[in-house]
Structure 1
Amino acid sequence: MAVGAGRVSSLPVAEGGEAARAAGCGSCPGQGLSRGPWAGEKYVGQFYVDQRHGKGICYWPDGSKFTGALYLGHLEGYGTLEWKDGRKFQGLYKTDERFGPGIESYPDGCQDVGLWLRNHLIKLCTEVPGYFSLLDYPAHYRYIDDSSQKKYISVEEDPFLRDYKHLPFDDKDIFPEGVFAYSRNTDHLTLTRSFLEECDAWYFQNTPKLPEEDPWPVANVTPLLVRMQMHVYKHRRCQGEFTSDVNLILSGSRSTYGPPGPRELASEQLIQKAARGDYDGVYAVLRNGLAHPDIADKHGYTALAAAAVHSHNDVVNLLLDSGADVNKCSDEGLSALSMCFILFYPEESFKGNIAERRFHSYKWNEQSESSETVSVAEDIISDSRRQKRWETIQLLLRRGADPNAPWVPPHLLFFAVKAADAEAVKLLLERGARADVRLPPKLGGLTPLHIAASVPGEEGVRITRYLLHSAPDLNARAEDGNETYGPDKDRRIAHTPYHILSASEQELFQTRQSLLEHITAKLRERVILKEKEWDQEELRRSKKLGSAVPTRVSKKRGGSHRVEEVRLPFFKYCYQCGRSVSVQLSPCTRCHQVFTCSETCRKKSWNERHRQECLGLLEKSTGGAAQRASGAGCKKNVTGKKGENGREGKDERRGGRRSKVGIGGQEHHGKND
């Protein structure tokens, strides 16, 4: 095993990387001819196991030079690449490619500054005018819980060892003993745990130890940028060798650098043209190759987001076809899809629900006086804009947008549920939206199902049905069990005469009454449909008894045999208000088919709907009884004797009088009501 420094080597650098292409300086920095083995490269620096490993300098025949760190023959770490024409790049590398903060300087003094991905800027240090920020929407900003939304790079688990800590096998299970005696090609051999540990120890052996530091917050939750910041964190001990302050670039500060270079200018133009919907301009910038389709400003506002929030669907398709990431998030944790949802669902579109009764004071069914003065033309424009935004949402979902990608709550599913938009809820669930998400603890930890079940109207029922098929835990509890909801105010509305209540309290009283009437109507409708599936005679008898069916005992040889008749489990609830708990339910004294909880509900249900139902049930019941009696009389006439005809006529007359009294009694009750 050879370990040394200061040696001169002509070993080739891996093809495809920037160091291998540095000799050919084309019109774009870092691009040129691919250099093959033994093409005249020269290296002076540190070695490990016959690999360029550590600090060193690489020279190429055309005068290009790289000074910095290498890892097993690849450019990795901070370094400076200089071209013969005066251009220079200083920044962070990974596997021969730019990956992280960097500065490219030009002979005229211009500089391209930002985060780099290969030969393109991926994030600027400047702000694009008109960028989308959640701070402009305070109704949605209150959902952010700063204490729970921050993600940090762990300091306790040193990322230097992260790669090989995940390898679940030992070296002896991979290579035969002495394999490095005849092959040291690390591009093709598996890098084992012990080998990587030795490489890291040698690579970082001379780096200074840092004092105790605070956890590093993750600036952007997009997976690519998370990996980039992890790479920056891994090499944080080597930042002293970088001529510029890395933290300035990471924080988006550019005041200390020269005028913007060609890549910065093209990147800013791409975002601005996308926001204007300039399809030809966006196409020209992308064709020029100076701007990455995923470029973002210092806030993480991408060209795709700029096109999406302005509903330029043709530009959205162009950027996605060019390689833009549909799920890339801003520094606030918003994707292009979530920005469109915030615009599509303003707070005014949310329906009131009792699940959030202590967090919001919605005004249901309220129409302001100014709304009557809005012209028809403005309504048409608003509807057209809303339709275009909905088409953009559908396009993003169709092109692979993940409803679960945004990091900032609320989850997109909450927007559609709170707005009672059943079509959007169905679409999100079909696209993989999670139904087990929650609001922050400060908002009660509610799930979409909690809110959907409390949304009034038919849409709330549809949304609840969709969520019941998707929610993994139907019994999930919110985090508001020990909270107080101001019972004094509720008791005032419930126990105060209507004319004494204020206008807002009267509106709340009417809304509650409408909601309860709607729920009761739906309950009554579903119960009637369900009871029609049962045996009507058994159901009628079970309701009339109102208790368990008495048992029937039959005697058998050697003892008695007990036989129980099972009573139908009918629904027992107030036919008018729907209540079934903490109330005394009384059956209708005529038909015994419905129950009411009070005299008020009994009279109201009789006047509104039950009068006709009750009379119809009685007529049906008496008609069936008369038919059975007639059948029995016919049988007696056929088989009876002559002397019995008088008795039969007498019974028939009695039956007729009994029937007349019954009908009269029914009419008497009707008059009393």
Structure 2
Amino acid sequence: MNSWRFHHMTLSLIKEGISNSNHQEGHVKETEDDVEQGSSLFDEKEESQTEEDDEQLVKLTEDDLSSNRIILTSGIQEWPDGSSYKGEFGFDLKLGYGEFSWVNGERYVGQFYKDHRHGKGMYFWPDNSKFAGSFYLSHKEGYGTMEFKDGRNYQTNYHDDIINHLLDNGADVNKCSDEGLSALSMCIILYYPVESFKANIAERNFKKDEVSTLLIYNSLQQSADAFSQCLLRVPSYACVNGYGGAEVLLRKTTGSRWTTVKLLLRRGADPNVCRIPLHVLFFAVKAADVGAVKLLLAAGARTDIRLPSRLGGLMPLHIAVAIPGEEGVKITELILHSATDPDARAEDEDDVYAPDWPAESPLIIAMKLNNETGPPSEYYSSSSLVPEEGGRTPLHIACEREDNPKHVRDVVHLLLTHKANPNTLWSGHSPLSLAIASGNDLVMIELLAYGADPNLPLSNDIGSALCAAVNTTYEQKRTLSNRILLIDKLIEAGADMLMPITLSQGRRTAVGTVVDYAYYKYFQDKKIAHTPYHALLPPEREIFNARRELLEYISDRLRECVILKEREWDREELRKSRKCKFKLNLQQPFFKYCYQCGRAIGIRLTLCTRCYEIFTCSKACKVKAWNERHKRECLGAPVVQKGRLAVTRPDVHIFE
């Protein structure tokens, strides 16, 4: 038998029944399973011509048969070539039960409908081989049993022995059908229905009009299931234990399908040959099937494949790190061991992190930015890293997750041990800022341990890791005490409170610190920040109190950082430096900020008229700073001592 015919038979075995069941009357399907060379399965050249000429246009339904509204008669019909039919007739058509015999010795015994073999029946060959099962409009449809002359029995869908026999005789296991589907891909499509896919955040940002590939997959799945619908025409298949007969039959084939998948891979099926609708590896990963992923990778499945650009250009690793549960950890490890790129980027560089989507109502303008320059460079250390920005890396996706923290930590650990870069940007975020935004402290600790820079400058108005920690957008992920602990952990890891943060509002910009950023975000909430306290509801008062307490805490930490930084400088060298700069009329390195609230932009700063050492921004801050700490600091200094800004006493008021 020719190799093309064996391939045709292979597809018939794997795909039997997936064709559209809306066949025209009298059309005979050409994909029957030949089991012996030269045998003519359904050779009806003489019969079909005669029957089509004699066919009457009588509207008959199977309900008519089941309700016995058609009177059947028995009879015999013969043809000049020696073929004959003996059985029941209705309206001069073969209708009911009968036997059709061909001159070559083949015969069919079973149900007929409008001159077609339709329903339950048995087909016999001259060598005593036979098929018993269901027929639909003169071709085999659904499930049945094939019995060879030596007594071997096979079911006609997913026969491992038949597939082996075909492959042994030259069938091409990687040959694709006209639809571009290989035998392996068709088995995978049938084995993994859409319902088996696990929800994952890697694909949650897709727009509704960008799921055409999934629609194609759904249509293939539906066509693959269409064969079972014809069985519902047979009363015995209509319902089994309360479930549709088609559903029960499909459930019974799950094990057979997986056995066939393993057989095809063992016989050399290439998992990379077909990408319609998806590469087969994507099915196993999306279904969180660890065993299948391991088998496909062992068979040479590539891991550098991508989904279409309209679906984000995701790779298997992007989806694997987003799979919840222990399965996601195991699949991630398997793919990483396949020498895949841990920093591969998806094609979603224009997407926005969901919590950062712009609010529907315009934000209130609460701070006036006047191009303030921020702290002098002597007060902070600039980061030497220049982050690369683009689509999401697997590390970004893993850090977005908000499910089991331990599983996410394990996935992140695997990525980092395989040299994933923790200092890349997507949508303005680094993996560290995403871990902070998602509320996963275990992941944050893991990132810091593997070199994540807490002072990495972030774009899209994110600022820095500390800014993410004080951002009101992500505050619901942690309690107030946990947010304070988070800030302390970041500072211990090297986060700089004096790192310059650029704020923008329309065309105006200003450079401040994390404290300015926190106030900037605080004032953007019109409901909480600009409503009298007595008018707030109890839950809103809790939010207000928590935000004010956090602002006070970071203000205290900023003040401590400034004092420690100034104490590090040698007083004698600083005095000489100031003397030199005064002679050269140069600006002194001095950070001007409110000594109480910590703000440096959008406020009016006033020097203390007693010591000229500190600034305050309002009467409330001046009184509070005096009562809490500055009373002791200011009065403790000699009256005759010059302040550190004595040379700038004429500039008492500074407007910023």
TM-score clears 0.5: no
TM-score bracket, shorter-length normalisation: 0.3 to 0.5
Normalised by the length of structure 1, the TM-score is 0.38
TM (norm. structure 2) is: 0.39
